[in-house]
Amino acid sequence: MLRDLLIDKKLFENIHEKVLNEGNEELIKRKSLERAVLKKLRKKRSLKKYKKNGIAKSDLKEIIELADIASLELFGGPSDYQIVNEHPEWCSHCGTCCRESSPIFIHKDEINPILTFKPDLKTEIVQNVDYEEHFMFKEDLPCKFHNLEAKRCKIYDVRPQVCKTYPLVLMGEDNPYYVIDLRHKCDYIIHLVLEKSVILFDEALRRLENSKL
Ligand code: SF4
Ligand code: SF4
């Protein structure tokens, strides 16, 4: 398997197990995302010329799965955060994230800066339903501040941190880390996983060639 050239099986299984905890609905979304990436990757990397080396469609699928769940930092590459920061053009401004996210998390430390710049938001922010010491917008699904026609945020300069880092989501309390949100309808995410897949695929091929020398 091509992926075995990149990552130790046990380490991959550990990462995978962590992701599998997400539940069935998330897994279905993840598979949809991976299918969307596979479609684009096959346009970039034709398998025909690799077939003679025993590389199959299943190899591409496995590489995409790895790109989806693991950071390139594991292979000495950039973090997901660095990659998305360098490619704001991947966002098609479809607005799906603003229409379909709930609740929109606001960290308690964000309240003062937000209200200093926009005091009238005070009536729009309520206690978070899941994390009592934090906050959220009163109206979401869609977010009240999404301008549907202009496809832009009406409070862009003071939008919460979760909106700034989307499509990455911060997880873990003691040692927080970014994971890719599971939205398969987000072009930004499809591009990100595609970019990582191409890097990993080329690196795996390089290692395969070297192993034959
Ligand atoms: S981040 Fe994704 S879902 Fe949100 S507007 Fe951009 S492309 Fe659409
Ligand atoms: S605050 Fe702005 S960026 Fe955040 S969900 Fe609402 S419209 Fe989107």
CA of 153 to the centre of ligand 2 (A): 5
Q: Give the span between the Cα atoms of 209 and 212, in whole angstroms.
A: 5
In 10 A of CB 81, how many CB atoms?
15
The domain segmentation of the chain, as residue ranges, is: 2-89+178-212, 102-165
Q: Give the span between the Cα atoms of 137 and 126, in whole angstroms.
A: 6
Per-residue pLDDT tens over the stretch 104-154: 999 999 999 999 999 999 999 999 998 899 999 999 999 999 999 998 999
pLDDT at 7 over 90: yes
- Residue 2 in 3-state DSSP? helix
DSSP letter assigned to residue 138: S
Among protein residues, the one with the nearest Cα to ligand 1's atom 7 is 91
**In the block, residue with structure tokens 């309240």:** 111
Give the ligand 1 atom nearest the CA of 96.
Answer: 3
The bound ligand whose nearest atom lies closest to the alpha carbon of 142 is 2
Give the ligand 1 atom nearest the CA of 95.
Answer: 5
CA of 103 to the centre of ligand 2 (A): 11
CB of 161 within 8 A of CB of 135?
A: no
Name the more confident of 3 and 20.
Answer: 3
Any ligand 2 atom below 6 A from CB of 146: yes
pLDDT at 49 over 80: no
DSSP letter assigned to residue 19: H
Mean of pLDDT over the chain: 89
**In the block, residue with structure tokens 């955060």:** 81
154-158, 169-173, 203-207: range with lowest mean pLDDT? 169-173
Q: Give the span between the Cα atoms of 204 and 52, in whole angstroms.
A: 16
pTM beyond 0.85? yes
Peptide bond into 142 cis (omega under 30): yes
The bound ligand whose nearest atom lies closest to the alpha carbon of 148 is 2
In this prediction, residue 182 carries a pLDDT of 63
Q: Where are the alpha helices (DSSP H) in 21-87?
A: 24-44, 57-69, 80-86
Give the ligand 1 atom nearest the CA of 98.
Answer: 4
- Residue 69 in 3-state DSSP? helix
CB of 154 within 8 A of CB of 54?
A: no
Among protein residues, the one with the nearest Cα to ligand 1's atom 8 is 94
Tell me the β-bridge partners of 146.
153
Counting DSSP H helices and E strands in the chain, the numbers are 8, 7
Tell me the β-bridge partners of 170.
178
Relative to beta strand 125-127, strand 105-106 is: unpaired
CA of 154 to the centre of ligand 2 (A): 8
